[in-house]
């Protein structure tokens, strides 16, 4: 007996190690194929089972999709199978193949020694593991069944998690790319999985139709954001196409529409799937869903009481579904607000803080976003040669897309900063990069300059930006710094950008601004702030410090617009001292 105990202990230890190692591998895996293959190979190798398969339940059609099969050449991976069995068996951990009504010819020779193991979590049924007879034709004992059940539980949990991850990953792929470019700007860890809740509502609705009215065939078309969509179905031969879904929804205005011959003639899909009636569901006078039901399984005609029950049941189901969408919208809004708050802090981190001090220059900057994040940009950076780079830019549009493009511009400027090339050549490179890597409707107005402190010269290039206003010490006339070329991203560079030198003498004042200043509107929307009004304000403030000049301009714009900015506002003021 002692050797048997040792052997049993070793076997138990081996199985425990197998479960632990499998659990570790599956928890770390996000690949459904890897999880399914591991489950099949471990069990087939452990118990010498030559035939096995995994079926995953399709909640829309009610069928089971074959995800993987080994040793079963007559079964085709990807096909849907209608596995017919007693509904009560869905709660069992396993049952024998001979409990299934439809035969599986590949393994039907030993249906009493072949098993369906339920793949389920604590709340939901997800599919089946099909195991054929062992190679030695013996049946599974209780210990082996317990081992298989344990692996099924672990594998199902891992499979559900991996499917959820893949679904979220596909849904937010574009957003994830932007998040990666902005150093993981958005936090997706708090996203709620409401789709499972809607599936549960659909299943309850399905079982209520079957249990109360013996209805096996039904469709639920729900209008979400003005678009009708097939939300749930059961017993239909073929899912309706988009055009058919829209026809079903649009052509149902009555509370209950009994399908007659004329309706069937113009709607082939209704005829093919034997839909007997369409029930319109309206909430607060607006049609939000259409329920289609087939004939009752007992062939008893629908009565008025049946339709009243159907309408009440449909209203309850649709209201519950609508609540899940409302909750989802609320979560999305809160998530976006949180992500935009993080985006704002990251964007502010891209701007110079503190602004470097420049010898011989009184410098001040300010930017105000009309939203949480914006497309305005300014920069002040010390070049390797000791001179100073000033930049101001405005990306088309507002919000996150503009902020992303602004971040790209900032990174390109800092990459080119240590490169020994002219402003003209650097502008050309930046323009070509933006043109090749952004949509045709996205572009940037850009002005930048290098201040050569030794000679007090400002060398600049203007790429389609609002011309900065230069006010000489002893003059009331403004010079506009407009030399340069096309705005960034509109066209690939054909002609070189022009760079121009100007001498800055003590008392000279340069005001750089974005169109959020001159295009600010009054409360009536009938007049804009304009460049002339800006010039007048600069003349009033010319003897002030750069910081006082900026605050004075911002206060004047806010008074003009009643503190309602329609665009991002940025100012960069340089005063030679």
What is the per-residue pLDDT for 172? 58
- Same domain flag for 260 and 373: no
Q: What string of H, E and C letters represents the secondary structure of 317-356?
A: HHHHHHHHHHHHHHHHHHHHHHHHHHHHHHHHHHCCCCCC
Question: Is 189's pLDDT higher than 80?
Answer: no
What is the per-residue pLDDT for 3? 44
What is the per-residue pLDDT for 461? 96
Judged by average pLDDT, the poorest of 205-209, 402-406, 546-550 is 205-209
At 466, is the secondary structure helix, strand, or coil?
coil
What is the per-residue pLDDT for 531? 95
- Tell me whether residue 176 is in a domain: no
Backbone angles phi, psi at 390, to 5 degrees: -110, 140
Q: Are 361 and 577 in contact (CB under 8 A)?
A: yes
Q: Grade residue 345 by pLDDT with cuts at 50, 70 and 90.
A: low
**Of the segments 240-254, 375-389, 445-459, which one has the largest average pLDDT value?**
445-459
Place of tokens 């078309």: 221
What is the per-residue pLDDT across 114-168, written as a single tens digit (0 to 9) for each? 888 989 887 788 889 999 888 888 888 888 888 888 888 888 888 888 877 777 6
Q: Grade residue 176 by pLDDT with cuts at 50, 70 and 90.
A: very low
- Tell me whether residue 478 is in a domain: yes
Contacts of 509 (CB under 8 A, 6+ apart): 470, 471, 473, 538, 542, 549, 573, 574, 575, 576
Query: Which of 285, 311, 326 is the endpoint of a domain?
Result: 326
Question: Is 81's pLDDT higher than 80?
Answer: yes
Supply the pTM of this predicted model: 0.48
Report, as an integer, the average pLDDT of 405-411.
Answer: 81
What is the per-residue pLDDT for 392? 94
Question: Is 195's pLDDT higher than 50?
Answer: no
Report, as an integer, the average pLDDT of 195-210.
Answer: 69
Q: Are 66 and 58 in contact (CB under 8 A)?
A: no
- Same domain flag for 263 and 360: no
CA 531/CA 513 separation, integer angstroms: 10
Q: Among 477, 552, 553, which Cα is nearest to 520's?
A: 553
Q: Are 576 and 363 in contact (CB under 8 A)?
A: no
Averaged pLDDT score across all residues of the chain = 80
What is the per-residue pLDDT for 554? 95
**Bridge pairing between strands 275-283 and 286-294:** antiparallel
Q: How far is CA 363 from each of CA 103, 200, 454, 544, rounded to the nearest angstrom? A: 83, 62, 17, 12
With 0-12 CB in 10 A as exposed, 13-18 as middle and 19+ as buried, what is 150?
A: middle
Higher pLDDT, 546 or 209: 546
Report, as an integer, the average pLDDT of 469-482.
Answer: 94
Rama region for 174: left / alpha / beta (φ>0; ψ in -120 to 50; rest) = alpha
What is the per-residue pLDDT across 507-528, written as a single tens digit (0 to 9) for each? 999 999 999 899 999 988 889 9
Report, as an integer, the average pLDDT of 537-542.
Answer: 95
- Same domain flag for 30 and 120: yes
CA 489/CA 17 separation, integer angstroms: 59
Query: Which of 132, 152, 169 is the endpoint of a domain?
Result: 169
- Same domain flag for 489 and 368: yes
CA 250/CA 248 separation, integer angstroms: 6
- Same domain flag for 158 and 200: no
CATH number at residue 384: 3.60.40.10
Half-sphere exposure of 509 (CA within 13 A, CB side): 24
* Domains held by the chain: number: 3
For residue 349, how many other CB atoms are within 10 A of its CB? 9
Report, as an integer, the average pLDDT of 339-349.
Answer: 60
- Same domain flag for 21 and 61: yes
């Amino acid at each position: 007996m002692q050797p048997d105990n040792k052997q049993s202990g070793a076997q138990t230890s081996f199985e425990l190690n197998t479960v632990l190692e499998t659990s570790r591998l599956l928890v770390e895996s996000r690949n459904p194929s890897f999880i399914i293959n591991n489950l099949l190979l471990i069990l087939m190798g452990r118990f010498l089972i030559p035939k096995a398969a995994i079926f995953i339940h399709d909640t829309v059609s009610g069928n089971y999709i074959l995800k993987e099969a080994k040793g079963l050449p007559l079964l085709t991976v990807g096909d849907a199978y209608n596995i017919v069995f007693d509904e009560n068996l869905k709660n069992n951990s396993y049952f024998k193949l001979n409990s299934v009504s439809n035969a599986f010819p590949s393994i039907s020779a030993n249906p009493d020694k072949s098993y369906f193991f339920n793949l389920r979590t604590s709340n939901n049924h997800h599919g089946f593991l099909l195991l054929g007879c062992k190679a030695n034709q013996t049946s599974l004992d209780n210990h082996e069944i317990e081992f298989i059940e344990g692996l099924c539980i672990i594998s199902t949990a891992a499979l559900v998690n991996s499917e959820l991850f893949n679904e979220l990953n596909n849904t937010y792929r574009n957003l994830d790319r932007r998040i990666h470019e902005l150093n993981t700007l958005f936090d997706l860890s708090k996203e709620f999985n409401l789709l499972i809740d809607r599936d549960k509502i659909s299943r309850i609705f399905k079982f209520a139709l079957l249990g109360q009215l013996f209805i096996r065939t039904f469709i639920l078309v729900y209008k979400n954001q003005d678009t009708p969509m097939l939300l749930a179905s059961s017993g239909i031969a073929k899912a309706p196409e988009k055009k058919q879904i829209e026809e079903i929804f649009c052509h149902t205005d009555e509370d209950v529409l009994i399908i007659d011959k004329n309706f069937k003639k113009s709607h082939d899909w209704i005829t093919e799937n034997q839909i007997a009636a369409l029930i319109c569901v309206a909430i607060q006078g607006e049609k939000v869903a259409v329920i289609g039901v087939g004939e009752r399984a007992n062939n008893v005609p629908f009565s008025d009481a049946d339709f009243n029950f159907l309408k009440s049941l449909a209203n309850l189901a649709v209201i519950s579904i609508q609540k899940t969408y409302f909750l989802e919208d609320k979560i999305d809004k809160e998530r976006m607000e949180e992500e935009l708050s993080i985006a704002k802090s990251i964007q502010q981190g891209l701007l110079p803080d503190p602004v470097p001090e420049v010898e011989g220059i009184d410098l001040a900057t300010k930017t105000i976003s009309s939203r949480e994040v914006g497309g305005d940009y300014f920069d002040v950076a010390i070049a390797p040669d000791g001179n100073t780079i000033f930049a101001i830019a405005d990306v088309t549009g507002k919000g996150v897309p503009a902020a992303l493009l602004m971040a790209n511009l900032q990174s390109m400027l800092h990459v080119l900063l240590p490169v020994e090339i002219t402003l003209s050549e650097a502008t050309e490179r930046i323009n070509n990069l933006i043109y090749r890597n952004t949509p045709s409707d996205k572009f940037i107005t850009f002005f930048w300059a290098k201040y050569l402190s030794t000679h007090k010269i400002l060398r600049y290039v203007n790429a389609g930006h609002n011309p900065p206003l230069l006010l000489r010490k002893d003059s009331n006339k403004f010079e506009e710094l407009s030399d340069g070329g096309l705005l960034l991203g509109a066209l690939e560079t054909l002609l070189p950008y022009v760079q121009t030198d100007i001498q800055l003498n003590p008392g000279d004042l340069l005001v750089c601004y974005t169109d959020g200043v001159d295009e600010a509107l009054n409360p009536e929307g009938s007049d804009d702030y304009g460049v002339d009004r800006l010039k007048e304000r600069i003349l009033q403030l010319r003897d002030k410090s750069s910081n006082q000049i900026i605050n004075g301009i911002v206060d004047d714009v806010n008074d003009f617009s009643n503190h309602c900015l329609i665009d991002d506002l940025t100012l960069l003021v340089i005063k030679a001292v």
